[in-house]
Amino acid sequence: MRRKLAAGNWKMNGTAACLAELGALHKMLPTAPPEVVICPPAPLLFRAHEAARGTGIEIGAQDCHMEASGAFTGDISASLIADTGALYVIVGHSERRDAHEERDRDVRKKAKAAWAAGLTAIICIGETLEDHEANNTLDIIAGQLAGSLPDQMTGTNTVIAYEPIWAIGTGKVPTLEQIVEVHDFIRAKLETRYGADIADMVPLLYGGSVKPDNAATIFQAANVDGALVGGASLKAVDFAPIIQALADS
């Protein structure tokens, strides 16, 4: 049975003082919560791991370099992330693909680097508004899956997050039917490439303006196993209802 996962991406937000939200979130978790991951900025990784000790909340990074070490000033390797106690790393987020011009092959290499360091890779895919309006969503998703996923993917080393770029931070959310279509398509593509056993184990997250008031509707979809949440994950009072909705789904 696939695990449910609620992941919070703090992006370039938060200071050490904000880590108190982890303790607050722990107190608000349901009795049988899904897996919960918080991805703070890199300088907070170790302190976040310490702050989350004993809460059941796991810590992840927002990106990693594709190389294990070397002359890459300002970058952070997957092994350095693992050394902080983190267990997850996001790769291929649309903001990285756009602002840093990351390509599918870069994302694929980063995923393999994450695995080599013992991390679970949360691989992001998603289409732009232009592609969405041109009805090219499934073609874009198919291309990103083919280019971004390594052949060695398993049901335990990878989580896939579908984030329509036009919905991230905009308040716009696809209809439930549109989310179902894309997530069912992803699952089918995984089954064709990796076989049913692996495809059935990979959690598929939805991301893009997930809020307490729409989470329960989104989690109605059979192939939505959780969410990658941005702004609503910064405060426990906002993230906890999303986690509760996932637990109830």
Structure tokens at 65: 């370099």
Q: What is the DSSP letter of 4?
A: P
Q: Are strands 158-162 and 35-39 parallel, antiparallel or unpaired?
A: unpaired
Residue 212 contacts residue 238 (beta carbons within 8 Å): yes
Q: What is the C-alpha to C-alpha distance for residues 46 and 119, in angstroms, rounded to an integer?
A: 15
CA-based nearest residue to 118, from 161, 153, 87: 87
> Where is 58: in which H helix or E strand?
strand 57-61
Active site residues: 93, 163
CA-based nearest residue to 115, from 84, 154, 144, 145: 154
Phi, psi of 145 (to 5 degrees): -65, -45
Phi, psi of 91 (to 5 degrees): -135, 145
CA-based nearest residue to 75, from 87, 60, 62: 62
CA-based nearest residue to 164, from 155, 156, 173: 173
Residue 39 contacts residue 90 (beta carbons within 8 Å): yes
Looking up tokens 């809020």 gives: 211
